[in-house]
Amino acid sequence: MRPAYIALPFVLFAVCATPREQCVSDVTRDTKVLASLINEVRGNLARGYALDRQQEVRSVPKTCRAQDEDGDVFRFRCDETRTVTTVTPEAIDLNAERAKLSSLEERFVQSQAASNQAVAQCIAVHPE
């Protein structure tokens, strides 16, 4: 259930955003993704290895209590579902990771320039 709570503020922002904010968010999405990937690759290079994240859904046995119409209390099994993220180190080719970083940084510069123009257009189309 927790991931739904994490995503909820983003859904509410999308619903409550002004047309200008929505436009700016849409045109800067790729740049933000590239920035995130660059940070991840830089972290991998600094550590010397990558972090592999795996999500696993687990059912945790649980016993619940309830009351019937006669007022008798009874117990029943009501398993709880949990999502667990495990992080394990993963070997990487540092030379390939450096090449990836260089490529991402070049793409980021191009994306940033395009985003800046698109943001200016959003501001022109949706003045506040």
Range of the domain at 77: 50-90
Helix (H) or strand (E) holding 1: none
The helix (H) or strand (E) run that includes residue 6 is: helix 2-16
pLDDT tens for each residue of 43-99: 999 999 999 999 999 999 999 999 988 889 999 999 999 999 999 999 999 999 999
Tokens found for residue 69 = 């119409």
Which residues are CB-contacts of 35 (< 8 A; sequence separation ≥ 6)? 108
Distance CA 43, CA 74 (A): 53
Judgement on whether residues 79 and 59 belong to the same structural domain of the protein: yes
Q: Is the pTM of this model over 0.85?
A: no
Are 44 and 59 contained in the same domain? no
Give the total number of structural domains in the chain. 2
